Structure 1
């Protein structure tokens, strides 16, 4: 299925990165789970602390060697990206705070160039270095807190025994400054202090998470402005593309039909007085042309604002689209999971994604099967739309201004602040997906 579309905008972000979570109403910075997490983190940090740091130092020292510096940089970037993901999962599981995920810019390039560009976007972002700082600050704090607690426990175990041994020794070498009762008292104080540290110290871990893991207000505003600008650009492009499509449909289908109708009626008028049977035949042809023109006008109107969508909802509208696809020779199965009606603009966008994708399947792919899946995710408040066909692949994104297929869909989805993707290897199959936010 070979189609023409416009390039995706530079401001596309990872869906998973922009979804985020709201702050949990009852975080739990103190308890058995936070204490166990802190102790585990300190134990792991005794070994892990040196690995990313060594790679970072190795990369800096290998700057004269381009290959060594490049390898160290790649490994360090992937380590910090993995660490950031693990830290967020840990914070959610241990403290239940649900900290929002900062936006992450995704490269608009593809292939090796896109991979290099993504590395640069990551390493030059504030999110990356905040993740590195958070990881090391938390490791240092956990090591310090747990180290002090275990040192106090060690003193509580060894102090009284040492004091008793010195007291019983004939030659104490002047080391009997700590009487045994005082040693036991200090041991109790040390144990109490160690327990207090292990119980209370995780609250600082939670504070570090709240300080360094969330997006900064400036970054959030910049991302919001960028997203709104991108949505506006998509809306303008989508409106222009839709205008061209309507103009093309009227010019190529309805207008010739009406011209033919006018000519047929004119010929019938000239034959009314001289050749009545021929005039009747021409009038019958004009009647057929008028009915065909009405059908084509309905198709144009359906492409602008389908009545069934507003009257009966997305499920019924997509059922009609799937039936039309069946009539065009492509067996189509439809799976719709919608617990309720969605906002009008979301339903309209999803409808046009499916309708245009199935039209492209029928015209270009030679497919023998198409599968449409529409599913609403209540957790993320997003609508996922997927159109699969088993025909020929090769769908690609171009900058051809006259192309209106997938390019128009991408612009329409971008205007709705959603994400749009096409997977279409040359041998097929082709999968068109769109994820649309349903919130305001």
Structure 2
């Protein structure tokens, strides 16, 4: 199995809703309950990730212990970041934009290990860690102070009365009961104020550490555009090689045979008319075959049915052609409307090329094509599954001089600023997936 090019892509950030500021609620019953609950959980939870991190650092000489503890810590904090975002949205209603995340283009174990390194070396990961501990520390302190004030409010007056009534010879003294009651009222008011208004500080902490910086967002845009440009250039070159290959392997031999047959017919016209007629009939068949193959080449460049009737009809046509080759194929298309031409074109070629590979190489007994539009993220999800033999992979640049299959699809998807993945263990099955942004 050939390794995938070691480039990385950047996952697009999720923009906050336009009405997010109007839905924010930094003060109220829910934020207060969230702060108190978080403080109660933090009493135990505060030490668990910290202990795992300390174990990882202390296990550096053993390597294996360091790696195991480090992997646990990374996955733990990635899950914590997701939970904190869900909590922030549920409590404050912010909808904070998710910072971009770099995604590895390796496959298999190498992809997993490289993705861990990309995560742990990113500012997003450590900002999430800092947010989690800063938020826990603040919640514990605020709730602890409020709890201490309430304890004083209930115990202080009772203690003052008890000590005031005690024997003076005992040498005990305390504030007067009247002052104790006044201080108790003040303590209760202060505790209520802390519980009500302290969550207002949690809100800016979320915005500060869970959102990406403007510079990072700009760098993401530049990186995405640069990657899309490289994908477009590479896709155009790959497409040119494919057209040259198709013309050289199919249409050109037919035309050469046609020319030779017509030449032989010309030599037979004067002395062997029946043979000349036979050769002309053969030339006519060659011309029709060449015309058919030329149409197939044109269909591979710009299918007319796609522009006329849309993606659903075009994919149905592709599935029908694949089923004639002996691979039963199920097509599931969920599209509420026509999509941008570029997105439909890329999705069409992903499915067409993937199914062609299934028919030629997979020895599959069935294939499933799923095309689904996701309205919240405005993305098109395309997947092609087959139960045949695996081993499919996007090859490296050094091996791609004549390659136009999965590498060409990856370049097409990159040019549309999408993501392309291939999961194909040696024993199968194979799943080709593309996620294409549809927003303007």
Q: With the length of structure 2 as denominator, give the TM-score of the two structures.
A: 0.92
Count, aligned residues: 434
Quote the residue 2:81 is aligned against: 84
Q: 1:367 to 1:59 in 2, by over 3 A?
A: closer
Match of 2:294 among 289, 292, 297: 297
How many angstroms apart in 1 are the aligned matches of 2:275 and 2:254? 21
2:93 aligned partner = 96
* 1:214 is aligned to 2:183: no
Contact 2:13 2:99 in 1 (8 A): yes
Distance in 2 (alpha carbons) for counterparts of 1:64 and 1:372: 49
- Say yes or no: does 1:281 pair with 2:278: yes
Unaligned runs of 5+ in 2: none
| CA separation of 1:271 and 1:114: change in aligned 2, threshold 3 A | closer
Which residue pairs with 1:265 in the alignment? 262
Question: Deviation digits for residues 255-302 of structure 1, max 9, x if unmatched?
Answer: 111111122222222323333222222222222111111111111111
**TM alignment of 1:321-336, pairs within 5 A:** 321-336=318-333
Contact 1:422 1:432 (8 Å CA) reproduced: yes
Following superposition, the deviation at residue 357 of structure 1 comes to: 0.9
Residue 412 of structure 1 is matched in structure 2 by 412
Q: Please give the alpha-carbon distance, in whole angstroms, between the structure 1 residues aligned to 2:288 and 2:108.
A: 51
Question: Which residue number in structure 2 is paired with residue 435 of structure 1?
Answer: 435
**What's the counterpart of residue 127 of structure 1?**
124
- Corresponding residue for residue 357 of structure 1: 354
Structure-2 change in CA distance of 1:109 and 1:353 (3 Å): closer
Match of 1:45 in 2: 42
Name the structure 1 match of 2:182: 185
Q: For the residues of structure 1 that align with 2:107 and 2:269, how far apart are their CA atoms?
A: 67
Query: 1:103: how far off?
Result: 1.7
Q: Distance in 2 between matches of 1:259 and 1:112?
A: 50
Match of 1:154 among 134, 151, 161: 151
Instruction: Name the counterpart of 2:251.
Output: 254
SS at match of 1:106: strand
Q: How much has 1:426 moved relative to structure 2? A: 2.1
Superposition pairs of residues 11-90 of structure 1, within 5 angstroms: 11-13=8-10, 18-19=13-14, 21-22=16-17, 24-25=20-21, 26-63=23-60, 66-90=63-87
C-alpha distance in structure 2 between counterparts of 1:318 and 1:114, whole Å: 31
Quick one: structure 1 residues 422 and 59, their matched pair in 2 at CA, closer, same or farther if it must change by over 3 Å?
Answer: closer
Residue pair 1:11, 1:230 contacting (<8 A) in 2 also:
no
Helix, strand or coil: the match of 2:102?
coil
Q: 2:308 aligned with 1:308, yes or no?
A: no
Return the structure number with greater relative CO, CA threshold 8 A, min gap 6. 1
Relative to structure 1, is the Cα distance of residues 85 and 231 closer, same or farther in structure 2, using a 3 angstrom cutoff?
same
Aligned residues of 1:227 and 1:417 also touching (Cα < 8 A): yes
- CA gap of 1:334–1:63, structure 2 versus 1, over 3 A, is closer
Residue 194 of structure 2, aligned match among 194, 197, 213 = 197
Structure 1 residues 64-101: Cα deviation after superposition (integer angstroms, max 9, x where no partner) = 55555444433433332222222112112221211111
> CA 1:280–1:116 in structure 2 vs 1: closer, same or farther (change >3 Å)?
closer
Distance change >3 Å, CA 332–CA 114, structure 1 → 2: closer
1:63, CA displacement in angstroms? 4.7
The CA RMSD measured in Å over matched residues stands at 2.2
**What is the CA-CA distance between 1:163 and the residue it aligns to?**
2.2
User: Using the alignment, how far apart are the partners of 1:61 and 1:354 within structure 2?
Assistant: 50
Question: Residue 241 of structure 1 corresponds to which residue in structure 2?
Answer: 238
Cα deviation for residue 308 of structure 1 reads 0.7
Could you say if the C-alpha distance between residues 376 and 267 of structure 1 is closer, same or farther in structure 2, counting changes exceeding 3 Å?
same
Partner SS state of residue 383, structure 1? strand
Measured after TM superposition, the shift of residue 137 of structure 1 is: 0.8
Distance 2:392 2:304 in 1: 30
